[in-house]
C-alpha cells in the first residue's frame, strides 16, 4: 500500500545532512509512494528543491505540514521539541536518536502519542555490526586527522607540529583509544598524513586485527589504566573513540592524565555525544569548537560528519535504504517482525 513520506529540513546547528537524497526519493516514488520534502531541506548536501521535484517529490513550504501529512518521517537527527509535538498517532520516524542523551520528557511524550521510532544507530546485523551507523563512523574517524592537522598549527593554538614531519624532524605522536570503526578509520587517516600512530583497545582480538590490517604500521597497546596514563604523557594528539551503544561513554581519560599531557596537545573526544570519555570534556559546536583546559586543547564537537553533508548523505543512503524500503513497503509491525536487524533499531513502538 502506498505511503506518504515526509522529509523535513534539519534545524540543529551545523547539520547539513538530509534524511534522503533525490535519488532515494526517485526510488520511493517509483514504487508509488508520495514524498513531501520541506523547502531547502537538501541545500546543505547540495540538493536543490528542483532536484527533488524532478525525482517526483512535492515541495512543502510549511515545516509542520510535513508532520501532518506523513505516515513515515525520514530524518537525520532526533526530533526537536516542536517536531515531537507535531507527530501524530501511528506515525513512524527513522533517524539517529542518540538515546543516551534523549530528554526523558520527550521520550514520554512520544510514547504517549503511540508512534514508532527507529534509531538508525541501533540497527544491528547478526554479526553485531551496525550497518547504518558505520558510514558516519568512518567519516568521523577520517575527519579527525584533518581536524588535528589544523589545530596542531600555531595559528590555531597548537604547538606548530606537522602531522607527517619531514626528514630529520619526527612526525606527530597520535594516540587513538578504541579500535572500532571510528578508531580504525582515524588510524587510516593519520597514517596517510604520515603521523606515528598508537591504537589502544581493551579487546586484544581487535588489536590483533588492527596490527594485521595495517601491516604493522601502527603500534598497538592494551588500554589498561596504567597504559593510558603512559600514552597520554607522550601524545601530541589523543583521539578518544570509545562508545558503548545506548549507554554513556566511560570516563577513561582522567583529569590527572590530561594534566600530564604536553601543553598545547590536542584531545578530540569522539564520544562527546554520549557524554564524553575524557573527564575534562564538555560539549562544543563548530562556531566555537575548542577550548583549553589543563593547558590542553579540547575539540568536543558532536556529529562531526554533519559538515560534510554531501558525502555523508550519500554514504548514509547507501547503508540505510534497504531498511527504509522495508519500512515503506510493509506495515511497520510486519517490517519489524520480518527483519531482526531492523527490530534492534526500534526504541519506541506504538504497540
At 246, the pLDDT band (50, 70, 90 cuts) reads: low
pLDDT score at 166: 96
Position of cell 521520550? Answer: 107
Residue 106 near residue 112 (C-beta atoms within 8 A): no
Q: Write the burial class of residue 168 (CB in 10 Å: 0-12 exposed, 13-18 middle, 19+ buried).
A: exposed
For residue 107, what pLDDT band results from cuts at 50, 70 and 90?
confident
What is the percent of the chain with per-residue pLDDT over 90, rounded to a whole number?
85
pLDDT at 111: 86
pLDDT of 292 > 80? The answer is: yes
CB 185 within 8 A of CB 204: no
236-245: pLDDT as tens digits:
999 999 987 6
The pLDDT value recorded for residue 349 is 87
H or E element that contains 182: helix 181-193
Report all structural domains of the chain as residue ranges with CATH numbers, in order of start.
Answer: 4-122+308-346 (3.40.50.720), 133-306 (3.40.50.720)
pTM of the predicted model, to two decimals? Answer: 0.87
Average pLDDT over all residues of the chain: 93
Q: What is the pLDDT of residues 194-209, one digit of tens each?
A: 999 999 999 999 999 9
**Do residues 159 and 262 make contact, with C-beta atoms less than 8 angstroms apart?**
yes
Q: What is the mean pLDDT of residues 291-303?
A: 95
Residue 94 backbone phi and psi in degrees, to 5: -120, 135
The SS3 assignment for 95 reads: strand
SS3 320: helix
Helices (H), 33-115: 49-54, 63-69, 81-86, 104-112
pLDDT 10s digits, 264-284: 999 999 999 888 999 999 999
- Structure confidence by residue, pLDDT tens digits, 151-167: 999 999 999 999 999 99
Terminal C-alpha separation, the chain = 20
pLDDT at 125: 93
The pLDDT value recorded for residue 128 is: 86
Q: Are 324 and 333 in contact (CB under 8 A)?
A: no
Question: Over 70: is that where the pLDDT of 351 sits?
Answer: no
Amino acid at each position: 500500500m502506498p505511503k506518504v513520506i515526509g522529509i523535513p529540513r534539519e534545524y540543529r546547528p551545523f547539520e547539513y545532512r538530509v534524511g534522503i537524497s533525490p535519488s532515494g526519493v526517485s526510488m520511493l516514488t517509483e514504487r508509488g509512494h508520495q514524498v513531501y520534502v520541506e523547502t531547502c531541506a537538501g541545500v546543505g548536501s547540495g540538493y536543490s528543491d528542483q532536484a527533488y521535484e524532478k525525482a517526483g517529490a512535492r515541495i512543502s513550504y510549511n515545516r509542520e505540514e510535513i508532520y501532518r501529512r506523513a505516515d513515515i518521517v525520514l530524518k537525520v537527527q532526533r526530533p526537536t521539541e516542536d517536531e515531537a509535538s507535531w507527530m501524530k498517532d501511528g506515525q513512524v520516524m527513522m533517524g539517529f536518536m542518540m538515546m543516551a542523551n534523549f530528554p526523558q520528557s520527550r521520550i514520554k511524550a512520544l510514547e504517549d502519542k503511540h508512534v514508532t521510532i527507529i534509531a538508525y544507530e541501533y540497527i544491528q546485523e547478526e554479526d553485531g555490526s551496525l550497518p547504518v551507523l558505520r558510514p558516519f563512523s568512518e567519516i568521523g574517524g577520517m575527519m579527525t586527522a584533518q581536524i588535528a592537522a589544523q589545530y596542531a598549527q600555531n595559528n590555531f593554538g597548537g604547538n606548530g607540529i606537522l602531522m607527517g614531519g619531514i626528514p630529520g624532524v619526527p612526525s606527530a605522536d597520535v594516540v587513538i583509544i578504541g579500535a572500532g570503526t571510528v578508531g580504525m578509520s582515524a588510524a587510516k587517516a593519520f597514517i596517510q598524513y604520515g603521523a606515528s600512530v598508537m591504537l589502544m583497545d581493551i579487546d586484544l582480538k581487535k588489536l590483533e586485527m588492527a596490527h594485521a590490517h595495517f601491516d604493522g604500521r601502527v603500534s598497538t597497546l592494551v588500554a589498561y589504566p596504567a597504559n593510558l596514563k603512559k600514552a597520554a604523557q607522550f601524545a601530541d594528539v589523543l583521539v578518544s573513540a570509545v562508545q558503548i551503544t545506548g549507554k554513556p561513554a566511560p570516563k577513561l581519560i582522567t583529569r590527572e592524565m590530561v594534566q600530564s599531557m604536553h601543553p598545547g596537545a590536542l584531545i578530540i573526544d569522539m564520544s562527546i555525544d554520549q557524554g564524553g570519555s575524557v573527564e575534562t570534556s564538555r560539549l562544543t559546536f563548530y562556531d566555537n569548537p575548542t577550548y583549553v583546559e589543563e593547558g590542553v586543547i579540547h575539540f568536543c564537537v558532536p556529529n562531526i560528519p554533519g559538515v560534510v553533508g554531501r558525502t555523508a548523505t550519500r554514504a548514509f543512503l547507501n547503508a540505510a535504504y534497504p531498511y527504509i524500503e522495508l519500512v515503506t513497503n510493509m506495515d511497520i509491525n510486519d517490517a519489524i517482525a520480518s527483519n531482526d536487524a531492523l527490530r534492534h533499531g526500534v526504541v519506541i513502538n506504538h504497540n
